[in-house]
């Protein structure tokens, strides 16, 4: 079920944007049109590969924690027979056998589970292993989500492959409505310089083509390292020079990491001077799932505190 906090967004959604986006998906043969869904179970994944099934998938292997969450959101969680390491949400996912991690897949176990669909992760799975699964005749859908908006596309595609079209269309519409509402809410606010810190040694931040950067932008913030690539390693001098107004770190269950306090030794930095040092649970801002909306809300709240 989608968080009920989404529902008020319908009253203030940006209709033109939503219609345009859904029309684009409609012309791709992915979404509901009129009173019935097309029966064609073919979708194009993020690599351009066309995945075709004879019928909705009944035995699924999910090789990305975010895709596992989306499949559960669609109501197809009971059809997942194997997952990637760290697939820890919803709690039911913890009971599903682990068939791989980022650098290794248990090919023997995956084949033994006889999946009719494998949902892979382009930069999170060994590419040679994914290619081998395709060569064995297994249908593989490869995802590489890069923004909040891309979650909608994956909901619709996976909804089609699992026969959960209605649920996918409903969740997608709610997601798009919420995104439009948040963007409209912060469109005319004063920009706030944000430093998001993933790790401390070395100092790792987020670049411009990442989910967290998308959240910061929609919340009226400016990622101080937006000009850098994914997962940039930065040095102390760069952080001090760019002088963030708020520092947000990857915490654990809303608990700030001990290293966040290391910044207190730099009182000349605006974020430190005004005591705007915070933490967010990583899974809420680093996974392309519907929980990212919860992460976005928290991000907006923290940026708003710094703005005030």
Q: What is the pLDDT along the chain (308 residues), one digit of tens a residue?
A: 444 344 344 344 444 444 445 544 543 444 443 333 445 699 999 999 999 999 999 999 999 999 999 999 999 999 999 999 999 999 999 999 999 988 899 999 999 999 999 999 999 999 999 999 999 999 999 999 999 999 999 999 999 999 999 999 999 999 999 999 999 999 999 999 999 999 999 999 999 999 999 999 999 999 999 999 999 999 999 999 999 999 999 987 667 899 999 999 999 999 999 999 999 999 999 999 999 999 999 999 999 999 98
- Distances in Å between the Cα of 96 and the Cα atoms of 76, 153, 261 are 13, 25, 38
Domain ranges of the chain: 4-181, 189-307
- Secondary-structure breakdown of the chain: helix, strand, coil percentages, each rounded to the nearest 5: 45, 20, 35
Q: Model's pTM, two decimal places? A: 0.85
Q: Produce one character per residue of 269-299: b if its CB has 16 or more CB atoms within 10 Å, e if not.
A: bebbeeebbbbbbbbbbbbbbbbbbbbbbbb
Q: Which fold has domain 189-307?
A: Rossmann fold (3.40.50)
The dihedral of CA 112, 118, 119, 120: what is its sign? positive
Domains 4-181 and 189-307 in one fold: yes
Give domain 4-181's CATH superfamily: Nitrogenase molybdenum iron protein domain (3.40.50.1980)
CA distance readout (Å), 163 to 1, 3, 159, 229? 17, 22, 6, 37
**How far is residue 292's CA from residue 134's CA, in Å, rounded to a whole number?**
30
């Amino acid at each position: 079920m989608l968080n009920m906090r989404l529902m008020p967004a319908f009253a203030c959604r940006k209709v033109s944007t939503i219609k345009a986006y859904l029309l684009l998906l409609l012309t791709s043969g992915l979404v509901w049109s009129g009173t019935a869904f097309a029966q064609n179970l073919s979708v194009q994944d993020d690599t351009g590969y066309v995945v075709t099934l004879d019928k909705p998938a009944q035995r699924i292997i999910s090789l990305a924690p975010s895709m596992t969450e989306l499949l559960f959101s669609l109501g197809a969680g009971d059809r997942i027979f194997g997952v990637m390491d760290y697939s820890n949400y919803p709690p039911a996912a913890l009971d599903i056998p682990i068939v791989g991690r980022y650098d290794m897949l248990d090919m023997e176990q995956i084949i033994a589970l006889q999946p009719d669909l494998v949902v892979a992760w382009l930069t999170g799975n060994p590419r040679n292993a994914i290619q081998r699964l395709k060569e064995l005749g297994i249908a593989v859908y490869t995802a590489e989500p890069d923004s909040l908006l891309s979650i909608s596309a994956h909901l619709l595609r996976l909804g089609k492959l699992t026969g959960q079209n209605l649920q996918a269309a409903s969740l997608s519409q709610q997601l798009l409505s919420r995104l439009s509402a948040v963007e409209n809410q912060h469109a005319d606010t004063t920009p706030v310089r944000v430093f998001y810190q993933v790790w401390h040694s070395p100092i790792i931040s987020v670049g411009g083509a990442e989910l967290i950067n998308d959240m910061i932008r929609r919340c009226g913030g400016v990622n101080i390292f937006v000009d850098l690539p994914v997962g940039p390693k930065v040095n102390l001098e760069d952080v001090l020079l760019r002088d963030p107004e708020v520092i947000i770190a990857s915490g654990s269950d809303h608990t700030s990491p001990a290293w966040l306090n290391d910044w207190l030794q730099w009182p000349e930095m605006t974020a430190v001077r005004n005591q705007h040092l915070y933490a967010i649970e990583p899974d809420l801002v680093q996974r392309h799932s519907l929980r990212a909306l919860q992460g976005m809300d928290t991000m907006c709240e923290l940026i708003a505190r710094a703005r005030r």
